[in-house]
Amino acid sequence: MKNISKAKFIITGGAGQLARAFCKMLDRANADYIALDIDKLDITNIDALSKVCKEYKPDFLINCAAYNNVDAAESDFETAMKVNFTGPKNIATVSVELKFKAIHFSTDYVFGGREQYIPFREQDETSPLNKYGISKLKGEQIFLEISPKNLVFRVSWLYGEGHQNFIYKLLQWIETRNEILIANDEISVPTSTYFVAKNVLEVLNANGLFHLVPDGYVSRYDYAKFVLNKLKKDAQLKPVSAEYFKLPARRPNFSAMDSSLFFNLFSLEKKHWSEYLEEFLVERKFE
């Protein structure tokens, strides 16, 4: 991490899982930061945002706030758009006015899937299948349109400390269900929040759009098997098609992303998703 102890940061969505990883990294680096969740700073309120930024005078604002309920977004598109489009629009606007750098996160769900398992690159055509994906795509576009000097990272299947992730849910399910059905036709890249935070803090002076995920990809079913195996937990897992769940939002069959642009450009190390996950589960090693 380059000299971040001399910079000032605001983290929005401060109670979320990615925000917590940033806070841990910034604590370790002795950096000057404030982390604010919606009760302290609602990113959809531009006046409140502008006031906090004028008072605190950040060098960087890292936007970890989002509306992430993929299924609920189908019936509440208005709220999803407010948080995922108006929020980043406000942040980009204030960043230009007050001259700080803003960093935002998007998702693999901007892609609509593909038959051939070739991970998506930054320039590939987007075609979100659900309203969450539409709101996130519009958010990343307006964010960089207002300020191309800002930074957007597309991430996927985040896990870290907190309850809003697949690993936590899986561990809950095995306590309460005899058999757990998991989709084997949804494929992407499990990504550690610590991996994201560490790499973002290395490149704060960059700009533009990057995919930021480890190497490889996996189905939800094999991901679940991997987690339970590493934790030595016994459970009856059954692979099924995602269609079985009849969820309100459609998901892409394959939305793994290729992050070689980022790792080649900045000469940073990336490993296979399974190595980070094993470190998280077994060694409790947070980079």
Ligand X SMILES: NC(=O)c1ccc[n+]([C@@H]2O[C@H](COP(=O)([O-])OP(=O)(O)OC[C@H]3O[C@@H](n4cnc5c(N)ncnc54)[C@H](OP(=O)(O)O)[C@@H]3O)[C@@H](O)[C@H]2O)c1
Contacting residues toward ligand X, per CB under 6 A: 12-13, 15-18, 37-38, 42-44, 64-68, 83, 87, 105, 107, 136, 155-158, 162, 164
Q: Which is nearer to ligand X, 163 or 232 (CB)?
A: 163
Q: At closest approach, how far in Å is the CB of 209 from ligand X?
A: 14
Q: Which is nearer to ligand X, 4 or 197 (CB)?
A: 197
Q: At closest approach, how far in Å is the CB of 6 from ligand X?
A: 26
Q: How far apart are the C-alpha atoms of 67 and 73, rounded to whole Å?
A: 8
Q: Which is nearer to ligand X, 43 or 142 (CB)?
A: 43
For the record, the structure tokens of 130 come out as 């659900």
Q: Which is nearer to ligand X, 5 or 71 (CB)?
A: 71
Q: At closest approach, how far in Å is the CB of 199 from ligand X?
A: 14
Strand 187-188 to strand 218-219: parallel, antiparallel, or no bridges (unpaired)? Answer: antiparallel
Q: At closest approach, how far in Å is the CB of 236 from ligand X?
A: 25
Q: At closest approach, how far in Å is the CB of 33 from ligand X?
A: 16
Q: Which is nearer to ligand X, 26 or 64 (CB)?
A: 64
